[in-house]
Amino acid sequence: MTRILLVEDSVTMRGFVRGALLAGSPTLELDIVEAENGFDALRLLPRGPYDLVITDINMPNINGLELLSFIRKSDQHRDTPVLLISTQSSDKDRRRALELGANDYLAKPFTAVALQEAAQRQLERAR
């Protein structure tokens, strides 16, 4: 069972990501845990480990970069691959994400296939 933590404040976007991931891995059994903001993510992280964290950057209160920084500092999760998704037009934010240890960065809107491939790459690398 592969466990993925999905952090995203838009319910539609969560639905899309979930759908795309499930469609992309008919053989792999996926358990996708959803959090609608950074706080939910902090509450769900101790219930890990997760094989992959997918998080939005722009969220109220704790943003995706802060969550990423927390994950990299945590003993339990520091090696968990993190895939950032954002419409962030700012190159600075993108660079910062990679500097902070994001494993990949997907700009919205992305296709289901692009997401499946990005997720698959991270899952295989970690294996």
Partner 1 sequence: MDATDKAREEFHAEAQEIIETFGRNLLALESTLKSGADDPALVNEAFRAVHTLKGLAGLFGALRMGALSHRLEDVLDHLRLGRMPLDDTVLDVLFSAVDAYQQLLLSERQGLQEPLTVVDDLVERLGQLASGAGAAGDLTAEYEIDTGLLAVLTEYEEHRLRTNVEQGLRLYRLRVQFELATIDKALEEMKTRAKKHGEIITYLPTGEASSPDSIELDLLMASRDDLATLIGTLGADNVVIEEVPRRAYGAHSMPPARSMVPEPPGAIEAGEGADAVEGAARSIARTVRVDIRKLDHLMNIVGELTIVRGVLARLAERVRSDGNRALGTELGRVHRSFERRLTELQGAILEVRMVPLGQVFDRLARAVRQISREVDKEIRLVITGSDTEIDKLIVEELSDPLMHMIRNAIDHGIETHSVRASVGKPSAGTIALNAYQKGNHVMIEVEDDGAGIDELALVEHAVRAGKLSPTDASDLSRPDVLGLIFLPGVTTRDVAGSYSGRGVGMDVVKTNIAKIGGVIDVQSEMGIGTKMTITLPITLAIVSALIIELADQTLAIPMAAVSEAIVFEPNRVRIVDGKETLSLRGVTLPLCRLERLLQFPPAREPRRRFVVVASIAQRRLGLLVDHLVGQQDIVIKPLGSTLTRVRGFAGASELGDQRVALVLDAGSILEEVLAPTEVGLSVAEGHG
Distance CA 85, CA 64 (A): 9
| DSSP class of 8 | -
In this chain, which of 14, 54, 106, 118 binds partner 1, going by CB under 8 A?
14
12 binds partner 1 (CB under 8 A): yes
CB atoms within 10 A of CB 4: 22
Buried b (16+ CB within 10 A) or exposed e, 37-64: bbebbbebbeebebbbbbbbbebeebbb
**Does position 126 bind partner 1 by CB under 8 A?**
no
Question: Of the two residues 62 and 120, which places its CB atom closer to partner 1 in the complex?
Answer: 62
Among 13, 24, 30, 117, binds partner 1 (CB under 8 A): 13
Cβ atoms of 32 and 2 within 8 Å: the answer is: no
Does 29 interact with partner 1 (rule: CB under 8 A)? no
Instruction: Assign residue 126 a region (left: φ > 0; alpha: ψ between -120 and 50; beta: otherwise).
Output: alpha
26 binding partner 1? (CB under 8 A): no
- CA 22 from chain center: how many Å? 15
- Residue 123 is a binding residue for partner 1 (CB under 8 A): no
Task: Work out whether 117 is an interface residue with partner 1 (CB under 8 A).
Answer: no
Q: Does 121 bind partner 1 (CB under 8 A)?
A: no
- In the complex, the residues that contact partner 1 under the rule CB under 8 A are 9-16, 19, 31-37, 39-40, 42-44, 46-49, 57-58, 60-63, 65-70, 72-76, 78-79, 87-90, 92-93, 96, 99-101, 108-109
